[in-house]
Amino acid sequence: MPKRHFRADDLLPSEITPRHVFEQRRRLLKSAAAGLAFAPGVDALAQAAGAQKLPGRQSGLSTMEKTTPYKDVVSYNNFYEFGTEKDDPARNAHTLKTRPWTVKVEGEVLKPREFDIDELLTLAPLEERIYRLRCVEGWSMVIPWVGVPLSELIRRVEPTGNAKYVEFVTLADRAQMPGLSSPVLSWPYVEGLRIDEANHPLTLLTMGLYGEVLPKQSGAPVRIVVPWKYGFKSGKSIVRIRFVEKQPITSWNRAAPQEYGFYSNVNPDVSHPRWSQATERRIGEDGFLQRKRKTLMFNGYGEQVASLYAGMDLKRFF
């Protein structure tokens, strides 16, 4: 990816800033996060929702871009199990019971097992990763997620040589999820990654955001975040992870295969059949004069992930 496609603030800080300056900015951000000076209202809102603290150590894989205000992160969501309007999940997800919670890991692995949510929280030191999330609908956010690399889980179950893909199955319980009465998608919500994508250091098994346990509308108690792909690849409230030989059939691909491919890498050169993907609206920056941002190839993570797709025609494998 030629450098001229990037803006300076779209690069990872470690690539553009001398280490000591980078460290200093990180410390500043950290102290800002402690006082939450850059996101007014986080504490009050999170406490009102009864949120528990879940701090993570700062990760060098974070973007230095301004984070999206907490109130937007928790009130503008896609989580169709709780309704299709952006404010439905915040209004309806209180019925989700997030404990006890287990994730069953099975399929092409030598050591299939169930992980309790508390085990997932202690798989590895929790990290805070500030990632961009770009939705296929044309909006984006910058969110400080808290989690551990998914590879930490994968390592423990020892995939066999037949494990080419990983399928993520999320909770589908009509008693807790009013949106399941709508046939908008086939339930449960299913997503998938190629095994090398799942093992990539950027792929985060996510249990928190903004230093708190995940709010229910954000996919509590555990979701995936794959920052170089459109947001729908990041399944919420995961209950099963299956290692399989064949490419999984995912919910969005099943619903509209011509619109939502399996890969779904953020790609400004591949338009959605009904709209362009060249630009995006950053949530929280709305305003009459606010210009849209140019969408970056792989959501700005090309340096890290482009090699996964070497030789592939990304217009065909969209």
Q: Which residues lie near ligand MTE (CB under 6 A)?
A: 77-81, 133, 135, 170, 189, 218-219, 231-232, 234-237
Nearest approach in angstroms of CB 110 to ligand MTE is 28
Residue nearest to ligand MTE (CB): 231
Distance CA 89, CA 25 (A): 34
Of 185, 184, 178, nearest to 94 by C-alpha is 178
| 143/157 with CB nearer ligand MTE | 143
Nearest approach in angstroms of CB 51 to ligand MTE is 15
Nearest approach in angstroms of CB 232 to ligand MTE is 4
Residue 291: CB partners within 8 Å, gap ≥ 6? none
DSSP state of 2: -
Distance CA 146, CA 140 (A): 18
CB 203 within 8 A of CB 151: yes
| 6/217 with CB nearer ligand MTE | 217
CB 38 within 8 A of CB 50: no
Nearest approach in angstroms of CB 82 to ligand MTE is 8
Distance CA 91, CA 264 (A): 29
| 200/223 with CB nearer ligand MTE | 223
Residues β-bridged to residue 203: none
Nearest approach in angstroms of CB 143 to ligand MTE is 7
Nearest approach in angstroms of CB 230 to ligand MTE is 7
- Tell me the two tokens of residue 149: 């690399």
Helix H or strand E segment including 317: none
| 159/209 with CB nearer ligand MTE | 209
Residue linked to tokens 């997620």? 145
| 13/219 with CB nearer ligand MTE | 219
| 63/218 with CB nearer ligand MTE | 218
Of 170, 177, 186, nearest to 242 by C-alpha is 170
- Tell me the two tokens of residue 163: 């494990």
Nearest 10 degrees: Cα torsion 189, 200, 73, 266: -80
Nearest approach in angstroms of CB 97 to ligand MTE is 15
**Cβ atoms < 10 Å from Cβ of 75:** 17
Nearest approach in angstroms of CB 310 to ligand MTE is 27
| 26/130 with CB nearer ligand MTE | 130
DSSP state of 141: E
| 6/252 with CB nearer ligand MTE | 252
Distance CA 281, CA 277 (A): 11
